[in-house]
Structure 1
């Protein structure tokens, strides 16, 4: 049943009223016993909740925080020869390089993710103000998915901060940073679907000694959030910490 539903979501997406996820239709498609299906899932919303969990858990980008290519870009930006040291300025240059390249790629990867499209559909259904089938259950499910994603991203940002020699400002946490950046990407992806040429147009901006560079608008926004939420560690803190 879940395999049949995943294939349907791949080809059709998840409709706002979940009309394309009907149990009786999927039972015929999957060729499974009807009695067994209703013993496992007493109603359609119970099935949809398991379907959305399956979509996210099968997405390696959700499990790792980023898709594989974006993670590779981050590792390359922060990769340094064994024993090499970097000044505070060089680490900030590395941070900007990571954000500039990774965000421009990740916003496209996110939009093309089947799991993320399902998440957006369910979010839009809840935000519409209309009666949504299983609204309370869907809100609980989306909260669970967001919490898990923020936990993963918090751990990743803690590693990046250690590598770059920065820390969170007093009053905010890596979880706050993860939620703020997720909101930026989420909103930017919405505008990108409406007006991609405006959002994707490169902005040539000078941020530091690396000189003028082409930035995606989402990259600039994410770097602005990162800079606002973090500060340079003092020498004593930086020496005590270990880079990942």
Structure 2
């Protein structure tokens, strides 16, 4: 029996579905008439097909921490270190630290996200659907959700890179959409691995992945983000750092830095 069942799994794949949700239990919790329900969905399979459509329409893949929380996190990195913005080496160190702390926070947030687990299950459920309209509709909805997620992550990378005076490295072969796709895939892959190997949540590696000149404790996903950043980004030589640009950066991160740049004894503008 086990051998026969294993052969079936290897042939057809392991399916994930909605079998744990009882149709009668849903009717009871919804507080609606059974007669009305069966008039709308004569067969429960029709209801579960509509439920899959609803889930796919609202699904969000591996949503990281909210953008405003990310900005607060990055602002905490810059706070008190404004002098470091005056030199290329200092800015390199700051953006390295931004990558380190934001990747770690995102990793923990995604791992604990019920929405991410739902999205993962939807992907697996979609694979088990037979060919037909329902499979096509769920696939299209998941693709739209994925595109929205990549767009949001790409916008975040572009915003932070621009604020810190970085640009896409010529010849790197990709734009911010490619960066977001690779970063998201790496993040989800490691979070998926951590479901069965929780030690990945606490594992840290002492490293200096961007050659910033100082070792720190990095998560694996942070190391991946640093590798992606150093592959695709470089300081923009056309950017000039002065008090106005520093103030703009702090405004983006949500706090006032109008007087902090004056604390730097060397107030001359520095090229990127």
* Secondary structure in 2 matching 1:235: coil
Pairwise mapping of residues 79-90 of structure 1 onto structure 2 (< 5 A)?
79=79, 85-90=85-90
Residue 66 of structure 1 contacts residue 106 of structure 1 at CA under 8 Å; is this kept in 2? yes
Question: Structure 1, residues 65-115: CA drift from partner, whole Å, max 9, x if none?
Answer: 533654421232245788994322222211111111121121121011111
| TM-score normalised by structure 2 residue count | 0.68
Residue 52 of structure 1 contacts residue 118 of structure 1 at CA under 8 Å; is this kept in 2? no
| TM-score normalised by structure 1 residue count | 0.75
Pairwise mapping of residues 61-210 of structure 1 onto structure 2 (< 5 A)?
62=63, 66-67=65-66, 69-79=69-79, 85-127=85-127, 131=130, 134-170=134-170, 171-198=173-200, 200-207=202-209, 208-210=211-213
- The offset of 1:172, in angstroms, is 1.6
* Secondary structure in 1 matching 2:216: strand
Query: Structure 1 198/119 Cα, relative in aligned 2: closer, same or farther at 3 Å?
Result: closer
* Secondary structure in 2 matching 1:211: coil
Q: Which moved more, 1:102-111 or 1:174-183?
A: 102-111
Runs (5+) with no aligned partner, structure 1: 1-14
Query: Structure 1 79/50 Cα, relative in aligned 2: closer, same or farther at 3 Å?
Result: farther
- The offset of 1:38, in angstroms, is 6.9
**For the pair shown, which has the larger CA radius of gyration, 1 or 2?**
2
Question: Structure 1, residues 196-218: CA drift from partner, whole Å, max 9, x if none?
Answer: 22563211113445521111111
- Residue 262 of structure 2 corresponds to none
- The offset of 1:238, in angstroms, is 7.9
Query: Structure 1 94/81 Cα, relative in aligned 2: closer, same or farther at 3 Å?
Result: closer
- The offset of 1:151, in angstroms, is 1.4
Q: Which moved more, 1:229-238 or 1:159-168?
A: 229-238
Residue 21 of structure 1 contacts residue 48 of structure 1 at CA under 8 Å; is this kept in 2? no
Looking at structure 1, the residues matched to 136 and 205 of structure 2 have their Cα atoms a distance apart, in angstroms, of 42
